[in-house]
Amino acid sequence: MTEPPRPPGEGTPGSNDPSYSTPPSYDNMPPSSGAGAYPPPSSGAGAYPPPTSGAGAYPPPSSGAGAYPPPSSGAGAYPPPGGNPNAYPPPGGDPNAYPPAGGYGPPPGGGYQQPYGQPGYPGAKGNYVNDEKTWVILSHVGGIFIGFLAPLIIMLVKGNESQTVRAHAVEALNFQITWGVAMLVAVVLSVCTLGILSFLPFVVWIVVLIFGIMATIKVNDGEWYTYPVTYRIVK
């Protein structure tokens, strides 16, 4: 039996069906791989990311959040600022944090002055200012004649004006106080022994005379002198 004709729109679609469209042919589509494959899109939602390694790898960005730091060693290392391979910038970006090449020069005003008044720190030879030398010599030589009064007066009068004069006066004052007490003890012993030990005050005065002259010669040449056998009460 033969099938009766169907009305339009029913049954197998054909060329007489106005709603039917020919499906696309897969034979005409480009291959996705192989010699004739089309490259993927370079931009847009379907773009492929570039390779990260190998011959076709893209270089990293030079700025921004993903930028790579320059190499610190090797052939591609960046030189430090200034062209000097050893001149790395100091911490904190302060160019004055490190001493300049060749060291610091002398400060303005004639250089450094070595401090007086402490063992191991002698004053520079001849490094006196104005009338300091006169007062320094008087503080030492005056003790030979009037004892501790000479350096004491000089310390009180000129000590606030010059640290050099004060240091010498303090050293001489401590010496004169120490040997002034020794002189007092020698006199008491001489009296108590009815003159048997009358030579003791003379010995004490000889000691004061010798060390006073030695100190005067040293300070006259601009050097520091430390008295031996001295109890340093005044600082």
80-125 confidence digits (pLDDT tens):
555 555 555 555 555 555 555 555 555 444 444 444 444 334 444 5
As given in the structure block, the two tokens for residue 75 are 């052939």
Residue 23 is assigned to a structural domain of this protein: no
As given in the structure block, the two tokens for residue 80 are 């430090």
Q: Per-residue pLDDT averaged across 41-67, rounded?
A: 61
Work out how many domains the chain is built from and give that number. 1
Residue 42 is assigned to a structural domain of this protein: no
Classify residue 148 by its DSSP letter. T
pTM for the structure as a whole: 0.49
Round to whole Å and give the CA distance between 174 and 172: 6
Identify the domain containing residue 142 by its residue range.
132-220
pLDDT tens column, 134-144? 999 999 999 99
Round to whole Å and give the CA distance between 142 and 173: 10
Residue 26 is assigned to a structural domain of this protein: no
